[in-house]
Amino acid sequence: MRTKVIAGNWKMNNDITQTTELINGLKAALAGKSLNATVVVCPPFTSLGTAQQLIAGSVITLGAQDVSLYDSGAYTGEVSVGMLKAVGCTYVIVGHSERRQYHGETNEIINQKAKKVLAGGLIPIICVGETLQEREQNITDTVLTTQTTGVLAGLTAEQVERSIIAYEPVWAIGTGKTATKEQAEQAHVVIRSVIASLYSPATADKVVIQYGGSVKADNAKELLSQPNIDGALVGGACLKADSFASIITAV
């Protein structure tokens, strides 16, 4: 039985004051609720320390939005796995489509980052997903197969079982367009069957595969009730405590 994981990707939003307000608001919104999901918040690097202090003793866990390929040294602007671990992160998003689009991240780079995260004992949330053009060309399954194979290359079955895959159709991210539950479920089935053929059905069965792309309180329940959708990676709707809490409690 896979535990559902609901992760909020804050992107480049919230300074320390706003971080304090949002985490306190989320804690209040979740207080007294019995939850069926793991809750993750992924603030910007500058807010991780504040968030770590505020989530202590709560159900909320911490993730980062990206990580360096390197351990330390002359890599201006980069943050290592060790640093993320020291500030209390358990999860790291790797290969978000915005990293692919604006920072030239390829499947190979994402694969190396996932390996770094796993070697450091953290859990990568590895993003895959087709563009609108690719969906319209009916090559979604091929794109997902290539991306999933590429980002998992060289990982052991045990490492894959510890990883989270986020299926994020690029056309649904921040656009208000959500994949239908059928489209999302079908993509998750494709990703899980790629993992089954690369590893084994037993390994594929253990991997948490999240959906991401304009998840909101009013569509979370139907998406999250699909058999292969094991959680959500949430952008816009995680920036308000009440709407993120409604997605979490929809599980």
Q: Which is nearer to ligand PEP, 83 or 128 (CB)?
A: 128
Tokens of 138: 């009916």
Residue 248 gets which letter from DSSP? H
d(C-alpha 10, C-alpha 64), whole Å: 10
Contact between 187 and ligand PEP (CB under 6 A)?
A: no
Which of residues 6, 39, 152, 173 is near ligand PEP by CB under 6 A?
A: 173
Of 94 and 199, which has the nearer Cβ to ligand PEP?
A: 94
Whether 168 is catalytic: yes
Q: Determine contact, residues 64/30, Cβ cutoff 8 Å.
A: no
**Which range in 37-45, 106-114, 179-187, 212-220 contacts ligand PEP by CB under 6 A?**
212-220
Q: Binder to ligand PEP among 144, 235, 243, 244 (CB under 6 A)? A: 235
222 annotated active-site = no
Beta-carbon count within 10 A of 43 CB: 27
In the numeric block, which tokens belong to residue 63?
Answer: 């993730």
CB nearer to ligand PEP: pick between 37 and 199: 37
- Report which DSSP code applies to 47: G
Residues 56 and 92 sit within 8 Å (Cβ to Cβ): no
233 binds ligand PEP (CB under 6 A): yes
Residues interacting with ligand PEP, by CB under 6 A? 9, 168, 173-174, 212-215, 233-237
